Amino acid sequence: MKIGIVTWNSPERHKLFMEQAYPEMETSVVADSATDEEKIEACRDAEAIIMVAATLSVDVIKACPNVKLVQGIGAGFDKIDVKAVNALGIPYANNGGSNAIPVAEFTLSLIAGLARGVFRGAQNAKDGKWNAGLRETPSWEIEGKRVGIIGMGAIGKRVAKMLTGFDCDTVYYNRNPVSADVEQSLQARYLPLDELLQTSDVVTMHNSLNKSTIGMIGKEQLAMMKPSAFIINTTRGACIDQDALYEALTTGGIAGAGLDVLAEEPTPSDNPLWQLSNVVITPHQSGISQEAVSRSAAFAFANARRAALGEPIHSLVTPE
């Protein structure tokens, strides 16, 4: 059973990832930074190709005649042309929610950190301004606040579940509302997007990136939000119009933002968002944890095995 692996992992994380491979698997590993020719050489005989936070061109897949599955280890699928892959008769699957726990935990960290002024206070203390702004700048409790979740997939559901411990008023927007049973178990209720934006104290984005969600939060949508509201983005930077966000953050349109993703990554040092004290920027790290590496690897190798054996594949992605 031959499996090609295109990876961006560090040596330590790669070792952790490879521990989940089945004994009968013959793996061929190539770095994400390799050329297409090198990737073809590594994956030519593979029955499945696993993308570990990597990119893969359709030309590489075309040159690998035995491939029955392209498997990603993230929830997103913007590093590959899924429609073109599907047109070759090859399915693409994502990680089946393997990183939902770390992303949801990270989201709650950003929400709490922004609302309570943790990041601002830590920086002030480090800069020798021990308690600067503590009385002048409000900090808010999360309990009793309305948190609006955009996107109710595996990650959105996990965020909603965690929020039950904060006694929030949890609302959500999704292209297709979840079932009443799921709503009841998560203590969440559906709202149209406009109403969610207008009434939420925190808006957190967990939708996928596609044609309909690129720039879905722009000047018009940000203008709907409360001046006291925060927005959190751990999905993809392109979902928010960055210029409109900067304007809203500098004119009092919204109170702050927690951004684990941005339109350009790595984010250049001259990005004006760096200069704002009401913004926290992290380097697309929310989905990374030791446990998630093992969990996503186990899922990826199991799915690759299913594909090689002709069994049903889990977590297939069908783009719009």
Per-residue pLDDT of 163-195, as tens digits, reads 999 999 999 999 999 999 999 999 999 999 999
Q: Considering the domain 2-98+289-309 in this protein, what is its CATH number?
A: 3.40.50.720
Cα–Cα distance between 123 and 70 in angstroms, integer?
Answer: 43
**What are the C-alpha distances in Å from 273 to residues 266, 276, 286, 318?**
13, 6, 19, 34
Q: 2-47 pLDDT, tens per residue? A: 999 999 878 888 899 999 999 999 999 999 999 999 999 999 999 9
* Mean pLDDT, rounded, for 233-251: 97
> How high is the mean pLDDT of the chain?
94
Among 1.10.10.10, 3.90.78.10, 3.40.50.720, 1.20.1340.10, name the CATH number for the domain at 100-281. 3.40.50.720
Cα–Cα distance between 69 and 71 in angstroms, integer?
Answer: 6
Cα–Cα distance between 1 and 302 in angstroms, integer?
Answer: 12
Element holding 203 (H helix, E strand): strand 202-205
Strand order across the beta sheet in which 146-150 lies: 188-190, 169-173, 146-150, 202-205, 230-233, 256-259, 279-281
Q: What is the DSSP string of 164-194?
A: GGGT-EEEEE-SSPPPHHHHHHHTEEE--HH
Q: Which residues are catalytic?
A: 236, 265, 284
Cα–Cα distance between 122 and 130 in angstroms, integer?
Answer: 9
pLDDT of 196: 98
Domains 2-98+289-309 and 100-281 are alike in CATH topology: yes
- Supply the pTM of this predicted model: 0.90
Per-domain residue ranges of the chain: 2-98+289-309, 100-281
